[in-house]
Amino acid sequence: MIVMATKIPFIYEYEYAYGALEELTPLIRRVTAPNPSGFTFHGTGTYIIGRGNVAVIDPGPLIEEHVNALENLLRGETVTHILITHTHTDHSPAAAPLKKTWGAKTYGYGPHGAGKIGAGVPIEAGGDMAFIPDVEVRDGDVIEGDGWTVECVYTPGHTSNHICFSLKEESALFTGDHVMGWSTSVIGPPDGDMTSYIWSLEKLLLRDDEIYWPTHGTCIRDVKNFVQAFIDHRLDRERQILKCLGEGFTDIKKMVPVMYTETDPGLYGAAARSVLAAMIRMIDTDQVKCDTPAPSVDSGFSLS
């Protein structure tokens, strides 16, 4: 079996505390939600931008303890904007109670599946179906607050409505789940899209952001090399798939244990979805054939 040639310099160690307001930079603070898991690492990091009149990025899951912590820690300040990177249930649901408390508007690309639903693509299950932004934003839009300026950077792939937010005053990009320091991002079709994801990574290489703040885990400082490693990692996966197909594997579920030798078997389901996403991209580039009209983890695959 082909060995993954790319080693991503993941960052696992950092300081955090549940229910505490962590001072990160002059304009950035963070409150970590108590929802650790194999998909969220230590939990959702809700960011607060500015002082006094503030923006909240990814308010997080609808956990009473976390919502109460945000409301108590921000007492004496005013939330004027609520920014949502995407609508998975560990990112956007807490926007509703915060909006009720402060009357702030919510900003996001659109409801769950917004980047694909217009083309008739089925909406991915498991999203925050209740979230509809008060203000729909697009790539390059600028949101201004009290002492801070945020540019919207559309980055579909993990979800079709995923968007990053660039804090211009600190050359800092809030990357949601697009680029995380502790893990690669799960790309689950049909809403998740590997072609869009790699395009969105390449887009970041053209930017001048100096630091990334993902919603899970700590900051990333060597941003260009990190993003390039993510791209190379995905291309390594494609080479693994080609080798598996060349050795007679036709079933994604049988490929996963061979390809993901260092992954917890409990995450094999998510890994299979990522392999499917890679397969769809490889079908689009005429490297792979599928035996069903709509590729799925249960389809059979072969070399073109």
- pLDDT, one tens digit per residue, over 124-170 is 777 999 999 999 999 999 999 999 999 999 999 999 999 999 999 99
DSSP class of 78: E
Which residues are registered as beta bridge partners of 127? 88
Do residues 173 and 211 make contact, with C-beta atoms less than 8 angstroms apart?
A: yes
The half-sphere exposure of 57 on its side-chain side, counting CA atoms within 13 A, is 30
Please state, rounded to an integer, the average pLDDT across all residues of the chain.
95
Domains located in the chain, CATH noted = 22-229 (3.60.15.10), 235-303 (1.10.10.10)
**Can you tell me the mean pLDDT for 205-218?**
98
Does 2 score more than 70 pLDDT?
no
CA distance 296 to 133: 31
**Can you tell me the mean pLDDT for 91-106?**
98
CB atoms within 10 A of CB 135: 13
Q: Which amino acid is at 222?
A: D
Does 6 score more than 90 pLDDT?
no
Q: Give me the pLDDT at residue 3, please.
A: 56
**Can you tell me the mean pLDDT for 63-85?**
98
Confidence of residue 119 (pLDDT cuts 50, 70, 90): confident
Q: Give me the pLDDT at residue 228, please.
A: 97
Please work out, in degrees rounded to the nearest 5, the angle formed at the alpha carbon of residue 233 by the alpha carbons of 190 and 241: 65
**Can you tell me the mean pLDDT for 26-46?**
97
Does 227 score more than 90 pLDDT?
yes
Measured over the CA atoms of residue 272, residue 275, residue 279 and residue 281, the dihedral's sign is: positive
